[in-house]
Amino acid sequence: QHAKKNKKVYQVYDPQFDINALERLFLTNSLKQAIEENELVLFYQPKLCLKTMTISHVEALVRWQHPEKGLIPPDSFISIAEKTGQMDALTRWVTKAAVAQYVSWLEQGIDINIAINISAQNILDKDYPNFVIALKEQHQLRDNAITLEVTEDAVVADPEKATEILCFLYAHGFKISIDDYGTGYSSLAQLKQLQVQELKIDRSFVQHLATNENDQIIVRSTLELAHNLGLSVVAEGIEDDTALQWLKAQGCELAQGYFISKPLPAETLDLWMKNTPYHINKIEV
């Protein structure tokens, strides 16, 4: 209580605080508008299946194309959306746009699954799960077409509720993935109970795999534990071929990172897919 009070008093005298407060207020008001006026845009980052060297999924990552400020990264406004009750609207927008893109790729004969990031708020409240289930049924999407990436904080905040909702989503054909695994406070035993199918090892353990022996030990034992529990593993943040080859040799299922591709707008990804040496699954249209 006291610490909080002191912090507040200190911040009033910090000119940086005023700027941030104004900035936040400004962003808060215009984020609502941005959602309504379609200023949000999705970039897509491929996930590579290491066994078949096929691009099996793409992850949708939101950006805000601000008329004056330019392209704003998600880390600058996701927390604002969370604190100002706009997470439901934001995630619905992202989900609709990502599903529309998935359907458009299918219509062009490109068979690629989609991953969507959802926040703790989205699973602790049944509105979003019902929305995404209805959308899947409306478009008659096959099971596992959509992966939902959630971070451990959702699970830690309310394990019972999280278990209930994630099981509900799993039963409706969604693949559940734990994002940034290793940075939170959940145990693998806890995650197994949740009907989680996939772990994404946080990039802080992956980026320096080529040279850091501790990271190699952490990743190797995470792979072993995950596999023994029947979970598949994605390594995020792969920045060089050494890390990619090492992960492949260790039996890691999926890989993602700048070495494979940065997140790209859909049109740019279309071009990338035409030129990549990796396989793309094609279907008759």
Query: For binding to Mg ion (CB under 5 A), which residues are involved?
Result: 117, 149, 179-180, 236
Give the interface with ligand C2E as residue ranges (CB under 6 A): 45, 61-62, 73-75, 78, 91, 94, 117-119, 149, 179-180, 203, 236-239, 257-258, 263
121 binds, among ligand C2E, Mg ion, none (CB under 5 to 8 A by kind): none
Comparison of 22 and 69: residue with beta carbon closer to ligand C2E: 69
* First-to-last C-alpha distance (Å) of the chain: 63
Q: Is residue 258 within 8 Å of residue 239, measured between CB atoms? A: yes
Shortest spacing between CB 127 and Mg ion, in angstroms: 21
Partner in contact with 263, chosen from ligand C2E, Mg ion, none, beta carbon below 5 to 8 Å by kind: ligand C2E
> What tokens does 22 get?
């104004």
Q: Which does 111 bind (CB under 5 to 8 A by kind): Mg ion, ligand C2E, none?
A: none
Question: What DSSP character marks residue 90?
Answer: H
Nearer to ligand C2E, 112 or 244 (CB): 244
In the bound state with Mg ion, the residue whose beta carbon lies nearer, of 30 and 233, is 233
**Least CB distance from residue 40 to ligand C2E, whole Å?**
9
Least gap, CB of 258 to ligand C2E (angstroms): 4
Nearer to ligand C2E, 112 or 255 (CB): 255
Token pair 């096959």 in the structure block, residue: 142
Rounded Cα gap, residues 212 and 197, in angstroms = 28
Q: How many CB atoms lie within 10 A of CB 92?
A: 17
Identity of the residue, 149 or 253, whose beta carbon is nearer to Mg ion in the bound complex: 149
Taking the complex as a whole, the smallest distance from the CB of residue 119 to ligand C2E amounts, in Å, to 4
DSSP secondary structure string for all residues of 30-89: HHHHHHHTT-EEEEEEEEEETTTTEEEEEEEEEEEEETTTEEE-GGGTHHHHHHTT-HHH
Q: Which residues of 138-155 are buried (b: 16+ CB within 10 A; e: fewer)?
A: eeebeeebbbbbbbbebb
